[in-house]
Amino acid sequence: MKNDPHPRNATTQVVLGLLVIAMGLLFLLDNLGFVDMHRAFSFWPMLFVIVGTVKLCDTRTQGGTMLGAAMVGIGVLLMLDRMDIIDFSWRTIWPLVLIGLGGFLVAKAIRGKRAQESGVAMLDGAPVGAGEVIDVTAILGAYERRVTTQDFRGGEITAVMGGCELDMRGASIRGEAVINVFAFWGGVTIKCPPDWSVSLQGTPILGGFEEKTIAPPDDSKRLVIRGYAIMGGVEIRN
């Protein structure tokens, strides 16, 4: 991760920028009388499509890809319902959420089985040493995890209408580690040791990134936080 140029992060910025420009053009056309934005606002499910697209462009994990695709799919279905092309309601979404959650659990179990077959030691269903690279997801709930590896290399944290708390005060970094966060209607809290320097490079959209850490004596251990806080918050503290 140290030499990762993060091309997908740049792609996400471009996609997000184009979406913002499109929204600005719509409001401009509304002010000029060419379109009626009151009717356009009835297509609020586009929010799911936009957020899902951002997640798809930014994720590097299978779980993140599944989540992004699910959000885009729900947004498209709701849009088609608004256009009276299909009949789709929130009562239909809940079974789809259960199906998606079941598929995610099955995929996770398969990955664990493959790891066992390849000879990787397992602990509580996860490979021993997996704390070196994390993949944490909280949807409509809370997730708390403690990481104590002495060779933390980064990973990905996703919180959708839920919260994630990652306690790494007993961990260590060799050089630099990067964590990609995605908080949508949710919050992420990261606790790091006082000898880590923190670099916030995230993008808040109606949300916020906040750092409450003590400045270390040197920059030998550096934690980089990238990603998005969409109507949510990300806090890093000691």
Assign 3-class secondary structure to 41-56.
HHHCCHHHHHHHHHHH
229 within domain boundaries? yes
Biggest distance spanned by C-alpha atoms of the chain: 66
CA–CA separation, 145 vs 166, rounded Å? 5
pLDDT tens sequence across 44-93: 777 788 888 878 877 777 777 777 888 888 888 877 777 777 777 767 77
177 within domain boundaries? yes
The model's confidence at residue 128, banded by pLDDT at 50, 70 and 90, is: very low
Task: Return the pLDDT at 15.
Answer: 66
Task: Return the pLDDT at 228.
Answer: 87
Q: Which of 59, 88, 117 is the last residue of a domain?
A: 88
Task: Return the pLDDT at 40.
Answer: 59
Number of domains in the chain: 2
138 and 216 in a single domain? The answer is yes
C-alpha distance across the termini of the chain, in Å: 23
149 and 59 in a single domain? The answer is no
Task: Return the pLDDT at 25.
Answer: 79
Is residue 109's pLDDT more than 70?
no
CA–CA separation, 101 vs 111, rounded Å? 15
Asked if 203 and 58 count as a contact pair (C-beta separation under 8 A), the reply is no
For residue 197, the cross-strand partners are 222
Burial code of 210-222, b = ≥16 C-beta within 10 A, e = fewer?
eeebeebeeeebb
205 within domain boundaries? yes
79 and 134 in a single domain? The answer is no
Domain extent at residue 78: 7-88
Pairing relation of β-strands 126-127 and 122-123? antiparallel
Higher pLDDT, 5 or 169: 169
The amino acid occupying position 77 is L
pLDDT tens sequence across 14-52: 766 777 777 777 777 777 777 665 665 566 777 788 888
Is residue 132's pLDDT more than 90?
no
